[in-house]
Amino acid sequence: MDLIDQLKEGNKRAAAKLITLVENKMPGYEEVLKEVHKLSGNAYVVGVTGPPGSGKSTLTDKLVKSLRKSGKNIAIIAVDPTSPFTGGSILGDRIRMNDLNLDPGVFIRSMGTRGHLGGLSESTRAAVKILDVMGSEYIFIETVGVGQSEVEIVKNADTTLMVLVPGLGDDIQAIKAGIMEIGDVFIINKSDLDGANRTKREVEMMLDLSHYERRPRVVMAVAMDNKGIDEVVEAVQEHHDFLVTSGQYHQNRAVTARDEILEIIQVQTMKNVLENPEMNKELESLTRQVALRKMDPYTAGKYILDNIQG
């Protein structure tokens, strides 16, 4: 466990190597995950999500710079949208962050949404633990908030920032259902644009209609000009304090642990089927019968389950 020893000392190259190792499920990845799990749990995880073009990267950039003033070690996991239609600023984002890359107290890692063995949420979760063990005090996960799989990624963040922009208009209605559950702080970014107040009112109205244990704060910001950044940092701190005093912090982490166990059970079950040559042969034969409508997939699935267990 040479790499993990280096990781514990804050070695960035060790972190990068370990993330690649678990991302690609290279030999020994489970051992790594077991080890880092036990050593992790100290970092505060902030999810940053919102529609394409809402300025998530710029906001993250500014928040990180602000937190760096107090000497905090920070990591950023930027989930690259390679799914259809999530829009474009992939290269821009990575370039913009380059000046942060020069800061030894900041670690940046991009993760693509394609080409993962296993789910991205699994890889992201693993990366969070590795960076946690490396000594990151804050870990930002930046992701375009489209589709269920992307929402999964920020689901286990301690605080999730929902970044909106003026002019969403009627779309607020459409996005309502999804927003409700995941935003802990709402940010109207680019609030120097027309319609910022209207968007704020719409978000506030939406929050009025929903039931929160603690009503999320709505902050106006122009991240590009460093406006509202202090307020966002404050709102994150407030939410952190709420989580801790209400006991929800530990409750949320228990939910995460439960999700992880269940995910592992599913992954392991698939392995038991697909990595067993005999089971695989059985699956192919059942597949043919199901495709020809001679058997239904339930009967086939249960047959295989009974045989794994046998």
Name which of residues 34 to 63 contact a copy of itself (CB under 8 A). Answer: 34-35, 37-41, 49-52
Helix (H) / strand (E) containing 161: strand 159-164
Choosing from 20, 24, 82, 285, the residue that interacts with a copy of itself (CB under 8 A) is: 82
If one asks whether residue 305 binds a copy of itself (CB under 8 A), the answer comes out as: yes
* CA distances for 227 relative to 84, 159, 210, angstroms: 32, 20, 28
Q: Which C-beta is closer to a copy of itself: that of 27 or that of 84? A: 84
Q: Which C-beta is closer to a copy of itself: that of 208 or that of 306? A: 306
Site for a copy of itself in 259-288 (CB under 8 A): 260-266, 268-270, 273, 283-284, 286-288
If one asks whether residue 222 binds a copy of itself (CB under 8 A), the answer comes out as: no
Q: For residue 168, list its beta bridge partners.
A: none
If one asks whether residue 211 binds a copy of itself (CB under 8 A), the answer comes out as: no
CA distance 235 to 46: 12
> Helical H runs in the chain?
2-8, 12-23, 29-39, 56-68, 90-96, 98-101, 120-134, 147-155, 171-182, 196-208, 229-246, 248-274, 277-291, 297-309
Contact 175, 199 (CB under 8 A): no
Least distance in Å: CB of 240 to a copy of itself?
A: 18
Q: Which C-beta is closer to a copy of itself: that of 130 or that of 229? A: 130
If one asks whether residue 87 binds a copy of itself (CB under 8 A), the answer comes out as: yes
If one asks whether residue 145 binds a copy of itself (CB under 8 A), the answer comes out as: yes
Site for a copy of itself in 160-179 (CB under 8 A): 170-171, 173-175, 177-179
Choosing from 10, 105, 195, 301, the residue that interacts with a copy of itself (CB under 8 A) is: 301
Q: Which C-beta is closer to a copy of itself: that of 1 or that of 265? A: 265
Q: Which C-beta is closer to a copy of itself: that of 275 or that of 298? A: 298
SS3 281: helix
Size of the residue set binding a copy of itself (CB under 8 A): 77
Choosing from 148, 194, 208, 211, the residue that interacts with a copy of itself (CB under 8 A) is: 148
**Per the structure block, which two tokens stand in for 171?**
């779309």
Contact 44, 158 (CB under 8 A): yes
CA distance 282 to 280: 5
